[in-house]
Chains A and B, each alone.
Chain A
């Protein structure tokens, strides 16, 4: 079955440190890939999306993600964490473009 795996349900970093949130998907066929962010008691907001153009995708708030077909990965990074980045992050994958399969999410904590 097609699936999405986010390694690490919780990630903690210091303010100013590198943020790395991991996402792997199960199929070797490149799908559409997305990262969403959710702040407490709110809906999901799109951070960035990969749709078979450049493999390095830049999103909002200084985040970016790199699609690596050989590793079936789409990890999310940000060079320098800010306190406002504390939230839950979801990786999502679409194979047939009408349904999304979500990872279980990674909660990011940022310490001063």
Chain B
């Protein structure tokens, strides 16, 4: 089945710890995105990548980092600099220039 796989579904972070959220797609899409979702705020763009080995900051990149070493994979690291990491994180992908994005099932991150 073609789609986007996010793992884990639930993740807990201790104070001062970095955690990495996985996002893998087998849709052969060039572009991939990371969003943060908080209640009542919709989706806010963290980072996006339109091509391997290149990525751009979104609206709320501080405290996060990404890499794009393979077309299929776009992991997100929530660093200890992100003081309020509790949220639902969504990964998406699209064929460049198509506008339409497809979403994974999300990872819920909480702080211990």
Per the 8 Å Cβ criterion, residues 12-35 of A in contact with B are 32, 34
Q: Which of A42, A44, A103 has the most CB of B within 10 A?
A: A44
Of B11-19, B60-68, B75-83, B97-105, the segment with at least 4 beta carbons within 8 Å of chain A is B97-105
Interface residues of A, CB < 8 Å — how many? Answer: 22
Asked whether any CB of chain A lies closer than 8 Å to the CB of B108, the reply is: yes
Contacting A43 at CB < 8 Å: which of B40, B98, B103?
B103
Question: Are B43 and A99 in contact, CB atoms less than 8 angstroms apart?
Answer: no
CA distance A42 to B94 in the complex (A): 19
Contacting A32 at CB < 8 Å: which of B99, B103, B106?
B99
CA distance A105 to B43 in the complex (A): 9
Question: Are A34 and B100 in contact, CB atoms less than 8 angstroms apart?
Answer: yes
Asked whether any CB of chain B lies closer than 8 Å to the CB of A104, the reply is: yes
Question: Are A45 and B103 in contact, CB atoms less than 8 angstroms apart?
Answer: yes
Sort chain B's interface into a size bin. Answer: 20 to 34
Residue of A nearest to B35 (CB): A102
Question: Are A41 and B97 in contact, CB atoms less than 8 angstroms apart?
Answer: no
Residue of B nearest to A91 (CB): B42
CA distance A45 to B103 in the complex (A): 7
Given contacts A9-B40, A98-B50, A99-B45, A43 and B100 within 8 Å (CB-CB): no
CA distance A92 to B87 in the complex (A): 20
Question: Are B104 and A104 in contact, CB atoms less than 8 angstroms apart?
Answer: no
Question: Are A44 and B103 in contact, CB atoms less than 8 angstroms apart?
Answer: yes
Question: Are B100 and A104 in contact, CB atoms less than 8 angstroms apart?
Answer: no
Given contacts A41-B106, A43-B90, A44-B90, A100 and B40 within 8 Å (CB-CB): no
Given contacts A41-B106, A43-B90, A44-B90, A94 and B99 within 8 Å (CB-CB): yes
Asked whether any CB of chain A lies closer than 8 Å to the CB of B26, the reply is: no
Shortest distance between the CB of B61 and any CB in chain A (Å): 14
Binding site for B on A (CB under 8 A): 9, 32, 34, 36, 41-46, 49, 51, 90, 94, 97-100, 102-105
Binding site for A on B (CB under 8 A): 4, 6, 31, 40-43, 45, 48, 50, 88, 90, 92, 94, 96-106, 108
